[in-house]
Structure formats: C-alpha cells, structure tokens
Structure 1
Amino acid sequence: MAHPQQLLPNLTFLDLQPPMTDAAREVATSLSAPRPTLDPKYFYDERGSALFDAITRTPEYYPTRTEASLLADHADAMAAELGSDLVIAEPGAGGCEKVRILLDRWRPSGYMPLEISRECLLDATRALAPRYPAVRFNAVCADYSQALSFPADDGGRPRLVFFPGSTIGNFEPSARGDFLRGLRHLAGDQGYLLIGADLQKDPARLNAAYNDAAGHTAAFNLNALHHLNRRLGCGFDPDAFVHRAFYNDRQQRIEMHLECRRDQSITVGDRRIDLPAGSRIHTENSYKFTVEDFSRELMGAGFTPLSSWVDDDNLFSIHLARAA
C-alpha cells in the first residue's frame, strides 16, 4: 500500500504507480485494424503539449478561452450552489491551469489533482501549492481507472469533481457513459460534478477550429507519428501524411485523420504493417452536444443537473450536477 509523501506544508503526493501499457502491442493492433486508428494519447509528448498550448491561443480555437471566461463570469453563482467548504478533485489535471480560477474565487478546503504523469503533476503542484497556503493539496499519480475508483474520504466535506475542457467529447458514446459513471463514483454520494461540453454549431466554425491557418493543429496531429518513431522506432515518414479534420454531421463530431499520400511500410515491435496510398489513420473524435442532450447523459450516469452556463455566442457550455 502506497503512503503519501509530505512535499510541502500543504502538499502531499501519493504515487499509485499507474500500470505501464504495452504501447507496441496497442499501436500494432490499432494500426492493423480494417480502419486504422491511433489513441489520441500519442499526440502528447513535450512537443505535442507545446503544440496544443499553441492551438488554444489561435483565433479559430474558441473552447479554451470561452470556457475560462464562463468560469470567471459565473464562479460566484457556482459557489452559491456549492458552498465553500468542499474539496475539488480533478482527474487528468495536467498542469492544473483552469482550476486556478476556482482556487482564486472559492478558496476551497482542499484540491486533489489526479494525473498519470508524475513529472507534470509534481511540477504543477509544487508551483501552485505555495500560492494557496490555506488549501490542502493532495496530489495523486494515477491513471483514469485508478482515479475514478479513488475513495471519497475528504473529512466529511463534499467533493466536487472538476472535468473542464472538451475532453468528454473525445469518448465514444458507450465509453462516455461509462466514464461519466466513473465520475459519479469519484464524486461520492454527497458530491458534485462541474464539467465542460462543446456545443453543436455552424460546421464552418468547427472546421476552422480544427484547421487553423497557422497549421498548429496539423502539426499536432502529425506529431503522433514523430512521437511513435522516437518511442517505438516505427519508421513512419511523416512527410508522407497530411492532416485531415472535418465535421461529420451524421455523427455530430469532428474527426481527425492522417491520410497517407504514398505507399509505405512501418514496423511496430516484430510486426510489419503496410499503409497504402489514400489510407487514413483515424486519430481523434470530438463530439459536439446540445445542453439538453448532455444533461440527459448526466442523468443517465447518476447525476441530477443543477445549472448550466453558455456563452453569448452559444459556443461552449459548463454544467453543474449533483450526485443523485
């Protein structure tokens, strides 16, 4: 059983030692499928994280700044429904950027970021904890499966699960239901959920957001190949691929693909995989919602919707729900 380490007066660190995945087997299986895919997690190495940060600053990509404005504008209304004596739990906390708005405005009793990357988690919390000495930081290194089963033991204080961004849209519908039920378990019977969801809108606006003029999204998509070359020695020729992103109206989602422009063969572990010209590797989906449909999904996962907030341009939504 792992024990927390006291790193700062108000910061403990618990390492649940997330299990290592067999990346070579996973990638070989997904690329060998009739419709090749790659898990979006392979976007993210140091360069991929920097590229995503650049994407969020482009004029075309609205979700990050719109959500931040909604959080800042409505933090007091959220607090009125929640009270201040609570613990914020954030699975997939990353660099703990967006939670700073809530920490500034609410000053909760505690903050529990859960993140699979030890280095990212330690760097973020060591920098953040001294800024909020009255907030108890309990950082937990865990993967999603470990995080969602983490017991609610917050000294009787209600737990608010914070899941910002449009990440919930990356899940397929059945997996999304399972994940939302996991968030319900993480919240506990007296807990709450504060979650972001991107909204359906003019496809032209969506297509522009995922095909920014500066080319950051294209570079981000292609970076998955560079990442796998360094990590697994796959032998991709990234110059032989082109970024494709488009809105699928029937599925109500943005799809991202890497299209192979000429025949090539790669090696993953001991397997050779042929990728013919014109084939596509499906790298990500981003589903878009209506407020009403997403509220129904929350109810199906065991939550009672309390409030939702939408910007004036109907681009993005934030939902507050209570465990039912």
Structure 2
Amino acid sequence: MAVTEALRIVDEDETGINNAFRDDVLRGLSEAQKAVPARWFYDERGSELFEQITQVEEYYPTRAETEILKKRGEEFRTAIGKGRAVVEFGSGSSVKTPLLLSAIDPAAYVPIDISGDFLCAAADQLSAKFPHLPVHPVEADFTRPVTMPTAIASMARLGFFPGSTIGNMVPRTAVDMLRDMRATLEDGSPEDTPPMLLIGMDRIKDAAILEAAYDDAAGVTAAFNLNLVTRINRELDGTIPENALKHRAIWNDEVARVEMHLEATRDIAFTVCERRFTMAKGETIHTENSHKYSRRSATALLLASGWSPITCWTDSDKRFMVMLAEASALRSAP
C-alpha cells in the first residue's frame, strides 16, 4: 500500500524560515545560560548523524531497547492487542519500528517528525517492509498537540515513543509533552478504547558509562552537537564560528541527567538573524539533557501526565526500560 502524502503542520514565515526554530534560538542565545532545545538537532543531517550514533560501541540504549523489542513481541501483542493505529512520535528507525509493527499487527502507521525529508524517507522504508500497511506521515512538531489524519479516525491508537527521547525534557516540559501526546492520540479516536503509550526510558547507572555514551571516541556525537550550529548558520543567517566551539558531555548527578554543551574555546562574537551575540571563553550553549530514570520516577512522571503504567520491560543488563501505559480516566480528587 502506498504512503499517503505527508500532512504538513509547520509554522513558517514568508521566506520559509521555521518560526518556532528562529524564536527558540534567539530566545535561548539571549539567556544567561545560553541554550537551544534539543528538538532542533533533527534536520536531515542531524537525523542521519543520530542514526550513526545508535551504532557506535559506547551508545548502549538502542541495542538495549532493540533487545526488548525482539524478545518481548508476544507480550506486546497480548498487552496491546491487534488492530491499533501506531502513532510514532519521531520517525521510526529501520530496526526498532518494524519489530513492533511485526509483533502487534497494526491497522495503520502514522509517523510524526519535524524533519520532512527524513520523515518521508523513513515512511518509504517502512512501507516497503510492510506493503499492506497504510502509512500516513505527518510533518509536525510532536512536542505539541498534532491533528491526526482523518484516515485513522475510527481506529484505537497506540503511541510509540522509543529511544529515551523523553529524557531530553526537564520534568515540567516532559509532563506537558506527555499530556500533549495524550491529546494527539485522543484526537478523533473511539471514546470506548483509551489510547495506549509504549515509551522507552533510560535507567540511572554508572556515570562513566553514561558520559561515554554521549561522548564516543569516534566523535559522532560531537559532530551531531556541532551540526546544530551548522543548521543555525544555514537557516537563520548565522555567523557562529564552528571551529571555536567544542562538544562536552557532563553527568549531573543532582538531577540525574547527562548534559550536552557546546563550549567556546575563545572569546567570540556572532550574529543570528542580524542580532548580535557574544560568548566568553569557557561559556557554553546548553544543547541537550538526557534524564535517566528509576522505575519509581518513571511511574511518577507518567501518572503526572495522565497515563497509568500497565507493565515495564527491561533488557538483560537492566540498563534500559520500555513501559506500556494507558490514558487515565480523569479524576476530580485523589
């Protein structure tokens, strides 16, 4: 079955600049601790680099999550059931998504991604592997409520959010996004079948393992981090000197997260959208968080977001977990 034309929900100005990207960058570079939200890593090149990261020796999350998806297929099928529309928040990889689709026999597949080119390529790959599965790609920012294709209006939904991307958000933002995901999945869905969510979360572990996973010896993660600067320079008329910035990955134990930064190796001045910025040597742009969870903290996060955990699976080394949850009935009191 052919892939339908991508539904495009992107806010652009008359010159084609993504307004949300521009606003986030200008706001973030103006703050005392400069920062850019991690979702803007994923232009086409950034998405390609992240796929490379998943293959490096130090980066265990993809291998661990893939192990769970390979070994627990029958359990997924029993817990989730057949015939749901799988709505994936972020274009599926060539490895993990087919494992889930094969296990649960879905009625349709809806990948949502902010990178249109990568989205279409991923949708085409999935359609080739599952020629009888309707595929309805949506180009949009999945951190906000997204209008679902009318083709899945009568279908029960399963949200799929693999890869521990939830860890990129601070708790407040993570709760907001999980609530928005619930709203997206409930958009036009059958009232008698609550949406479900299958989500990957990385677990807390030794700091050395965590820092190595985000600063691989081959430098792929460093290239991924610096590609954000390349994108800013290309799309927002930036003049940031890439050769004056270096990649850093730091474990912050107090808040249980790995932080990625771009650190200035000398004093620099640059413009973005004709606005001038400066950075002193040693100053950083905070580009990503990767929060790590215990089973208890993951459960608390889901409950705060309107999701009731059903079950949890871990890999053989207990480094990673995949949790299944169902949209909670709204309550007026504890």
* Amino acid corresponding to residue 173 of structure 2 in structure 1: A
| SS of equivalent to 1:85 | coil
Q: 1:197-224: CA deviations, max 9, x gaps?
A: 0110111110111111111112221222
Of 288-297 and 132-141, more deviation after overlay is shown by: 132-141
Mapped pair 1:275 → 2:272: no
* Amino acid corresponding to residue 110 of structure 2 in structure 1: M
* Separation in 1, partners of 2:160, 2:126: 17
* Separation in 2, partners of 1:310, 1:95: 20
Aligned to 2:163: 165
Aligned to 2:244: 240
* Separation in 1, partners of 2:93, 2:10: 18
| SS of equivalent to 2:266 | coil
Aligned to 1:6: none
* Separation in 2, partners of 1:145, 1:203: 28
TM-score, normalised to structure 1, is 0.90
Q: 2:290 aligns with which of 282, 286, 292?
A: 286
Mapped pair 1:106 → 2:98: no
Report how far residue 25 of structure 1 moved: 4.3
* Separation in 2, partners of 1:219, 1:16: 28
TM-score, normalised to structure 2, is 0.87
Of 143-152 and 18-27, more deviation after overlay is shown by: 143-152
Report how far residue 143 of structure 1 moved: 2.4
Report how far residue 305 of structure 1 moved: 1.1
CA distance 1:203–1:152, shift in 2 (3 Å): farther
**Does the CA contact (< 8 Å) of 2:246 and 2:262 recur in 1?**
yes
* Separation in 1, partners of 2:98, 2:59: 21
How many residue pairs match? The answer is 316
**Does the CA contact (< 8 Å) of 1:96 and 1:113 recur in 2?**
no
* Separation in 2, partners of 1:220, 1:202: 24
Mapped pair 1:84 → 2:76: no
Aligned to 2:212: 208
* Amino acid corresponding to residue 291 of structure 2 in structure 1: Y
Aligned to 1:254: 258
Q: Runs of 5+ in structure 1 lacking a partner?
A: 1-8
Q: Runs of 5+ in structure 2 lacking a partner?
A: 13-17, 329-334
* Separation in 1, partners of 2:106, 2:24: 40
Report how far residue 320 of structure 1 moved: 0.5
Q: 1:305 aligns with which of 302, 305, 309?
A: 309
Aligned to 1:3: none
CA distance 1:123–1:48, shift in 2 (3 Å): closer
| SS of equivalent to 1:284 | strand
Q: 1:183 aligns with which of 181, 184, 192?
A: 181
CA distance 1:152–1:217, shift in 2 (3 Å): same
Aligned to 2:123: 125
* Separation in 1, partners of 2:261, 2:282: 11
| SS of equivalent to 2:255 | coil
Of 113-122 and 151-160, more deviation after overlay is shown by: 151-160
Aligned to 1:17: 9
* Separation in 1, partners of 2:135, 2:49: 29
**Does the CA contact (< 8 Å) of 2:114 and 2:141 recur in 1?**
yes
* Separation in 1, partners of 2:210, 2:129: 37
CA distance 1:90–1:69, shift in 2 (3 Å): same
CA distance 1:248–1:208, shift in 2 (3 Å): same
**Does the CA contact (< 8 Å) of 2:43 and 2:115 recur in 1?**
no
* Separation in 2, partners of 1:301, 1:231: 34
CA distance 1:166–1:152, shift in 2 (3 Å): farther
Of 120-129 and 217-226, more deviation after overlay is shown by: 120-129
